Amino acid sequence: MGTDATRITIDAVEFSIRIRGDRAEAIRTNMMPNPSIGAVYPRAVQAMEAVSGCRVIEDSLRGDVAVMRADLDCG
């Protein structure tokens, strides 16, 4: 995304978060045995919101268990 990353850990899942305008990107940086979208996505949302100070727009999260992107509502 062309911006510096912020590292954050949510429930033992490590992410590298980049924010650019009203978009966020979360890259999972640690190994997980059999990662599932149901386990990773909620933590990615929490990480993006914590770093950005904004809310992730519902249904905008896309990607896979390694790289997720979302739109932000910064009100």
- Render each residue's pLDDT in the chain as its tens digit; 75 residues: 568 999 999 999 999 999 999 999 999 999 998 899 999 999 999 999 999 999 999 899 999 999 999 999 998
Longest CA span, the chain: 37
Q: Which residues contact 42 (CB under 8 A, 6 or more apart)?
A: none
The 10 Å Cβ neighbour count of residue 17 is 22
CA-based Rg of the chain, rounded to a whole angstrom?
A: 11
Give dist(CA 44, CA 69) in Å, integer. Answer: 9
pTM of the model: 0.93
Question: What amino acid occupies position 73?
Answer: D
